[in-house]
Amino acid sequence: MAAEAQVRSSGDRTEDHTGDRTGTRALEAGLDALETAAPRAPGARATARSLLPPVVVLLGLLAVWQVAVSLELKPRYILPAPTEVAGTVAELVTTGRVWDILWTSVSRGVLGFVVAVLVGTVLGIVLSRSRLLRAGFGPLISGLQSLPSVAWVPAAIIWFGLTDDAIYAVILLGAVPSVINGLLSGLDQVPPLFDKVGRVLGLSAPDRVRHVLLPAALPGYLAGLKQGWAFSWRSLMAAELIAASPQLGIGLGQYLDQARQLHQMDGVFVGILLILLVGVAVDLLVFSPLERRVLHQRGLTGTKG
């Protein structure tokens, strides 16, 4: 009885619902308009406002430095004047030597980092797949992350001699744990709901990894890469400072060490500045825009970014 009644009612339900459709649509459109915030465009003023404070701080530091030099608080060979350092930089640039030095270090750093990313990513995926492996290696990898990579330099020199291999070994040992941990924490933060969605949609296992799991893990992974780069760069400098040999060429670390040996304080300052500059530049030009894009896409940042 009841079943027949249901069949009848389901038979004419289509007509029942077309009538009030325009009403629903109007209401819906109104709700949509009210509940969607108007996009706010970050203006040029916002950029200027975020740029101004660090510039002021930088100029302030320069001023303090200059004042300290003018007061002759320390002899010149200990505290060179900003102008002297600037002169050394200018000389390095005009002779073109600066590009050789930068290239030697940056190319090493980038190559080492790229290999570290590949190795770390593969190891990270393997560890994420096996609970046993992760339980075993997890604490070791976290521990390695806090080991200063300079501690690897003596071992690397004994194993590989004063060669590029030794330097790359130090970079890898320094950066790989960061990349692994970044990927693992990125994967850990993927809500289980997303994988369910992939399965409900009927995506194959490889498609779920490619279209759901990896993109979902991207923010954590990127943070790991960023840290991995910082560790690569630091490890490289540690290695270059200690491992000086003619066949290694002159990188930033070797330049810095040479200046120390010759007691050229302006050179030491230039070395430090250039190392800092490269680190900041890579972060500013590569990682920050990438990170901002990824987070912005997901609505994870305010309009400040």
When asked if residue 32 is in the footprint of another protein (CB under 8 A), the reply is: yes
Question: 253 with 236: CB under 8 angstroms?
Answer: yes
When asked if residue 202 is in the footprint of another protein (CB under 8 A), the reply is: yes
When asked if residue 96 is in the footprint of another protein (CB under 8 A), the reply is: no
Distance from the Cα of residue 290 to its chain's centroid: 8
When asked if residue 252 is in the footprint of another protein (CB under 8 A), the reply is: no
Judged by CB under 8 A, the residue of 153, 169, 216, 230 near another protein is 216
Alpha-carbon distance of 21 to 6, in angstroms, equals: 23
For residues 191, 192, 196, 197, the Cα torsion angle rounded to the nearest 10 degrees is 0
Residue type, 228: G
Tokens for 166, please give them. 């030794």
Q: Which of residues 156-175 bind another protein (CB under 8 A)?
A: none
Q: What is the CA radius of gyration of the chain?
A: 29
Distance from the Cα of residue 182 to its chain's centroid: 10
Judged by CB under 8 A, the residue of 50, 83, 288, 297 near another protein is 297
When asked if residue 29 is in the footprint of another protein (CB under 8 A), the reply is: yes
When asked if residue 199 is in the footprint of another protein (CB under 8 A), the reply is: yes
The secondary structure of the chain in percent helix, strand, coil, rounded to multiples of 5, reads 80, 0, 20
Judged by CB under 8 A, the residue of 14, 70, 146, 247 near another protein is 14
Tokens for 30, please give them. 């109104």
Judged by CB under 8 A, the residue of 134, 211, 260, 292 near another protein is 211
When asked if residue 303 is in the footprint of another protein (CB under 8 A), the reply is: no
Nearer to another protein, 158 or 200 (CB): 200
Residue ranges that bind another protein, judged by CB under 8 A: 1-3, 5-6, 9-10, 13-14, 16-21, 24-25, 27-29, 31-32, 35-37, 39, 193-194, 196-197, 199-203, 207, 211-212, 215-216, 218, 294, 297-300
